[in-house]
Amino acid sequence: MYRCHKCCRNFETLQECLKHDLQEHCFQNKRVNSNFNSLCKGASKLLITPEKLEERAKLHECLDRCNPGEELLTIFQKLCMDNNNLKSQFEIVKTCLHSDLKQLEAEVEIHAFGSIVSKLALTACDIDVYLDIKEMQSKASEIPEKLGSTHFNKNSNAHENLFNKIYNILNGSAAFSSVCAIRGARVPIVICKHNITGFSIDINICCPNSLENTRFLQALVESDNRIHSMLLFLKIWAKHMQIKNRANVNSYCLIILAVFYLQQPLQDHDRSILLPVQIIQQNLPERIIHGINYSFDIERKENQIYLPASMTTLDLIKGFFYFYKDLNMSEHILSPYFGTYISRKDFVGDKSAFVAYKNQLISITQYLGDSAEPFQVDRCVCVQDPFNLSHNITRSMVKNNKEYFNCCLTYACTICEENSTIPIRELYEMLLYDAYKPKQAAPPIENDAYVNRLNNCDNSEQIVNKGKYYVHFTFSPSRNDIRAITGIADDQQDFLRNLPILKLWSDYCKEAIEIILSRLYYLDVSDGYLPQNEAQLCIKSWRVSGSVDLWTNRSHTRVSKQSFMDYQLAETERLYTARNQDPQYCVNIRADISLYARTGYQSLEVRLALPNDSPAETLIAKHPLRKFFNMFRCTLENFSLKEAIQSSLIAVQ
């Protein structure tokens, strides 16, 4: 018998216990924030920074001068990207990509998607790009012809090889810098910076589905200017309230929530503004991408947007706030496909209403050649993608995230109720710049010199704790990590019964970090100060120092005949030989790196803190220490625990 280390429930096999642990404890609490007040205070701090205060002052001045009815246009001119300029910038990026990707010797089509196409781009946005490499994909494709697609399966060897080629090309390009491969994401991407335009570029080669989602949002935006203005305003509001970072609601998720709101019946009318996806797909030829039907038509007379002339953009914005403030999102699944709520219990039952969902799972399974992953119904909040019916777009939201989102909605409603008689321009300004402040939240920082010093570090992740500055990131065990540990269980079952799986995973991660610091980056590593009496458990602390830059332009390519760590060790030797006597790569870094366990080892947090005698400016983005930490994070994200255990790089305890 195996016992869950949290709820003490017994299971016959380790696999059953592990599945229960991941579903009931890990995923439900993934990335839980330690304190709800910190979420609220974080947004408040952002809106009182000198940059935001200056931005608000300039916007206030422009709103005072604008004509009645032009308030939103004025806000968008200040806080959104110019669509024409954005398109011209993309053409420059496209030209550079075409030039560099000629090395592939294949026909490459470069498509933009996301906010640049849907006309919902805010300032400081990035550019999302999909590469359609037809010749190479058609040769490598193992997808049945009847599905009508030659796109890559992201798990295939062909995809991995092409992904590595593109990463290497961009990494050696003069037009792009800060190239990083994110292989563990739901959609693997290469992130880089375009040196000419300064834009951050996210590139994917395996998921054309995003093009179809963008096509739908673009049609919605172009259907009525009031809907376009509502979506833009909600994105700005969410950005200022830091809902993406603190409520785990990204831009796409926010827009789909708005889509579901538009699908609800209008009061005193016999239909909704937007019909359910199920209806706008009727009597249309299928448009199958990766086993999913992305056909729709909202231009057909019976499917057109129905928005009464009497409804203003402000009415839509208020309606969104009030609708979700009063909605209990925990009890139901929100389904834009059906345009209504679905009971969680009914969703997993054998109901005729879900024939489309079951058929789509079969279609995706045929495309993948493996069982499709079903809808993740065991999450705090469930919102179904309009087309990909097995995708829960709010799967990352946990209890504290949901509470913060609800508080922001409630506070927005309060602002609207208490200021119904003030000019519209003032109401818009208050909605965007007055953050929710719980009674128990700490007051804003009043030391201007301290605030300026913190902001000048140009780091949204930088935190100060008892006078000590640090940057940090968190990571959780992947399925491959858990499988690697489960494989050890066959020979050590008695041991694993007494030691929780996640605790064992954290021990392996601690050993991996020590190896990466000392053997990959040639840092002098010694035991650091282990802080006591903190809310989170500090597993290990290291004092590190180094004198040679072994991180700039380090490649994280995976090769078929060599493990990741073997390749990285060879990369270290190559870089050290070339840079050891080169003054250009001479650095002097000192830092304290600590590993913290969060929520019962369900995730780990890595902190890089400055010694007490170091200035906060040491953590600016261009400083060697910050560059090292970013590359160290990338190395850790690409590290394979399974490979390390199999090669005995990490000793099985």
Q: How far apart are CA 61 and CA 81, in angstroms?
A: 20
The two three-digit tokens of residue 621, written as one number? 């983005």
Q: How far apart are CA 335 and CA 383, in angstroms?
A: 6
The model's confidence at residue 303, banded by pLDDT at 50, 70 and 90, is: very high
Q: How far apart are CA 302 and CA 294, in angstroms?
A: 19
Give, in order, the Cα–Cα distances in Å from 344 to each of 157, 261, 297, 450: 37, 19, 29, 49
- Average pLDDT (339-352) is 71
Q: What is the pLDDT of residue 154?
A: 54
Q: Where are the alpha helices (DSSP H) in 224-333?
A: 225-240, 243-246, 251-262, 277-280, 313-325
Q: Is 648 helix (H, G, I), strand (E, B) or coil?
A: coil
Of 230, 204, 21, 44, residue with least CA distance to 126:
204
Q: How far apart are CA 220 and CA 256, in angstroms?
A: 11
Domain ranges across the chain: 2-47, 80-137+151-206, 226-438, 462-647
Beta-ladder partners of 202: 128, 191
Tens-digit pLDDT profile for residues 57-76? 999 999 999 999 999 999 99
Quick one: CATH architecture of 80-137+151-206? 2-Layer Sandwich (3.30)
Highest mean pLDDT among 223-237, 372-386, 406-420, 442-456: 223-237
Cα 32-50-459 angle, rounded to 5 deg: 45
Q: How far apart are CA 91 and CA 106, in angstroms?
A: 20
* Per-residue three-class SS string for 563-629: CHHHHHHHHHHHHHHHHCCCHHHEEEEEEEEEEEEECCCCEEEEEEECCCCCCHHHHCCCCHHHHHH
In this predicted structure, the answer to whether residue 153 has a pLDDT above a threshold of 60 is no
389 within 8 A of 337, measured Cβ to Cβ: yes
408 within 8 A of 247, measured Cβ to Cβ: yes
Q: What is the pLDDT of residue 479?
A: 77
Q: How far apart are CA 512 and CA 643, in angstroms?
A: 12
In this predicted structure, the answer to whether residue 534 has a pLDDT above a threshold of 80 is no
CATH topology for the 226-438 domain: Poly(a)-polymerase, middle domain (1.10.1410)
Q: Give the strand pairing for 332-335 and 382-383.
A: parallel
Q: How far apart are CA 16 and CA 648, in angstroms?
A: 27
> Which residues contact residue 301 at a Cβ distance below 8 angstroms, ignoring those fewer than 6 apart?
none
192 within 8 A of 170, measured Cβ to Cβ: yes
State if pTM tops 0.75. Answer: no
